[in-house]
Amino acid sequence: MDNSNIIRFNNANRQFYLTAKKRVDEYFKTNNISKFGNYKMVIKTIAMFIIFLGPYAILMSNIVTNGYAQMGLWIMMGIGMSGVGLSVMHDANHGSYSKNHKINNLMSFSMTLIGGSSLNWQLQHNNLHHTFTNIEGHDEDIAPLGFLRFSPHAELRKIHKFQFLYAWFFYGLMTLMWAFTKDFSQLIRYNKMGLLAGHHTTFKKQLIKLSIHKVIYLGYSLALPMIIINAPWWHILLGFAAMHFTCGLILALIFQPAHVVEMTQFPTPVSPDSLTMEDDWASHQMKTTANFAQKNVVLSWFVGGLNYQIEHHLFPNICHVHYKKIAPIIQQTAKEFNLPYHSKPTFIGAVISHAKVLYQLGRTAPPQQMAA
């Protein structure tokens, strides 16, 4: 990767992060608790796979023959699919599911079972998004297709005026794109960026691996149902699409309100000719990340604690089952260092805030575009 084009953080003063880390470490040491997953994680993993694969087994058994009931099972699979991604795959790919690397690698394979690429996820999410959160041109999570605009520094197009209305539909297509096209285009792009070398692999090796994984996924999730389920082929295609739409929409409604909301910032380097940010990395995370619905126990359980996005971004190597306990530590430390601790009290409030930002971003052009 070209080091001349990498954003650098002003880490001269990292006292906030060092203090927060010390206090969090003391919490685990004092309570004699592992930072990794525990029995709660095992129970959740079993539950998520039951929600995902249970409806699949029922569909394949042909016990249910009613078309509407079958569609309901496909949608339930989509809910379970998102649960596996949020609560199992996510921690595994961060290496926080277990202290055993082999278990993390095994659980990260769940990404293949829901149609995506574990390596691509790690490169986009772990490497780029977690490092360069909300930085235009570096965080791919705010660089969607041209008809969506997630950053005030991105080019404004006429169609963006209506994105607050149509964005939700395209959110639902997210995992469907993973399954068929996005993983391949990402792999090509990351190879050109030199990111594959950092994972000690080659483009050829990963292309073969990705192709095999796609065959496995599409084989069990689409081809086998078409052969076995007593339903018209088009009905199965609709069910498959409904499953992905459900999953994609859920994932987007969890990840987008964590960064693209009214409270969060979209910082730029200190000057147009500089690649250095004003803040250190941890302070940057506090300004670009938001929590929501921290008191909603059911939601927090299902989404893998990702409503505690601040804690996750500061300590992605800690399993999400611990976020609720370390959140007060982070909040207090942020207050002492005069840093924001963004949080919306409800999930609905967070989604509404995201919708408002979509509306605003559809109308206000970046300074350089207005000047032109």
Residue type, 200: H
Q: For residue 230, count CB atoms less than 10 angstroms from its CB and return exposed for 0-12, middle for 13-18, buried for 19 or more.
A: exposed
Instruction: Give the phi and the psi of residue 135 in degrees, each rounded to 5.
Output: -100, 115
Query: What is the dihedral angle through the alpha carbons of 40, 43, 48, 50, rounded to the nearest 10 degrees?
Result: -170
Going by C-alpha positions, the residue among 162, 167, 138 that lies closest to residue 255 is 167
Summarised one tens digit per residue, pLDDT across range 308-341 is 999 999 999 999 999 999 999 999 999 999 999 9
Q: How sure is the predictor about 372, in pLDDT bands with cuts at 50, 70 and 90?
A: low
Average pLDDT of the segment spanning 135-141: 93
Going by C-alpha positions, the residue among 260, 121, 245 that lies closest to residue 195 is 121
Q: How sure is the predictor about 145, in pLDDT bands with cuts at 50, 70 and 90?
A: confident
Q: How sure is the predictor about 5, in pLDDT bands with cuts at 50, 70 and 90?
A: low
Summarised one tens digit per residue, pLDDT across range 253-291 is 999 999 999 999 999 998 877 789 999 999 999 999 999
- What whole-number distance in Å separates Cα of residue 269 and Cα of residue 134? 12
* pLDDT for position 371: 55
Has residue 198 got a pLDDT over 80?
yes
Q: For residue 82, count CB atoms less than 10 angstroms from its CB and return exposed for 0-12, middle for 13-18, buried for 19 or more.
A: buried
Residues 6+ apart with CB under 8 A from 199: 119, 122, 123
- What whole-number distance in Å separates Cα of residue 161 and Cα of residue 304? 33
Residues 6+ apart with CB under 8 A from 336: 19
Summarised one tens digit per residue, pLDDT across range 10-33 is 988 899 999 999 999 999 999 999
Q: For residue 66, count CB atoms less than 10 angstroms from its CB and return exposed for 0-12, middle for 13-18, buried for 19 or more.
A: exposed
Domain locations along the chain: 3-371
pTM of the model: 0.94
Residue type, 190: Y
As a whole-number percent, the residues of the chain with pLDDT over 70 amount to 97
Joined together, the tokens standing for residue 125 give 């999410």
